[in-house]
Amino acid sequence: MTFGEKIQKLRKEAGLSQEELSYQLGVSRQAISKWERDNGYPETEKIVRMSKIFNVTLDYLLNEEGTQTPESAAEQGIYVSREMADGFLLYQKRKYLKIAIAVGIMVGSLAISFMFSDISMLLFMLILIVGIVLLFSVKLTDNPYRKLWKEPLLFDKTVKAELNTAYAEKKKFLQLFNLIGIALIALGFLFFPLIIPAELLFADTIALAAGMVVAGIGTFLCIYMSGLVRAYRLLIMNEAYQQKGK
């Protein structure tokens, strides 16, 4: 069996399309097609990655007489390179930034709803529409990393160590601002409505509006920071996530 026949066989047994395998290897679909037809040969780094993706030895891939078969599918997974991990984290940052802005401005726009005028209500509705459009843009955007949430992840020790170090450095910062967000939400919804007596209608309205703005900022912080923590935890504690999903 030739090298091309082997990777085609292994790819199909793993349930991967040429596009999905090319995504994991960081190459084009045409490159996978060329390799499978034995019209080309990948770099050593790509062969090493394929051995991890398919859970076979390098000897099996390189030796045309090799007869080794992959181990159980339960031990297979998606090989995550440093480039893929960085791309995934960047995608999650952008995704949760949009979600946080959308929900944050929708909560904050409640401040305008306390101003009883046609213009304020029109502005309130416009901000709500912007928030909804942002949320739908996130939903409709193609997610190239969807499989990372569903499959076991495989890392080089160096990449895993770098991710652990990066998360350890950011963890306290992310948790601190998450707590600040929770505190701002509590202040906005629970404290600000009580600081001015209801009899002072104008001042009370201003306080309520200020509270909604503060709550909106808190909502933004909570969603954005929680999203970043979730992204790092997926990469670092993937095994724990897989167990929770069972």
pLDDT tens digit sequence for 99-138: 999 999 999 999 887 776 778 888 999 999 999 999 999 9
Following DSSP, what letter does each residue of 60-100 receive, concatenated?
A: HHH-TT-------GGG--EE--HHHHHHHHHHHHHHHHHHH
Does the pLDDT of residue 15 top 70, yes or no?
yes
- Domain ranges for the chain, please list them: 3-74, 79-245
pTM of the predicted protein model: 0.69
What pLDDT digit, counting tens, does each position of 51-97 carry? 888 888 887 887 765 444 444 434 456 778 788 888 899 999 999 99
The whole-angstrom separation of Cα 128 and Cα 134 is 10
| Half-sphere exposure for 55 (CA within 13 Å, toward CB) | 15
Among 208, 217, 231, which residue's Cα sits nearest to residue 181? 217
What topology does CATH give the domain 3-74? Answer: 434 Repressor (Amino-terminal Domain) (1.10.260)
The whole-angstrom separation of Cα 17 and Cα 11 is 7
CB atoms < 10 A from the CB of 110, how many? 20
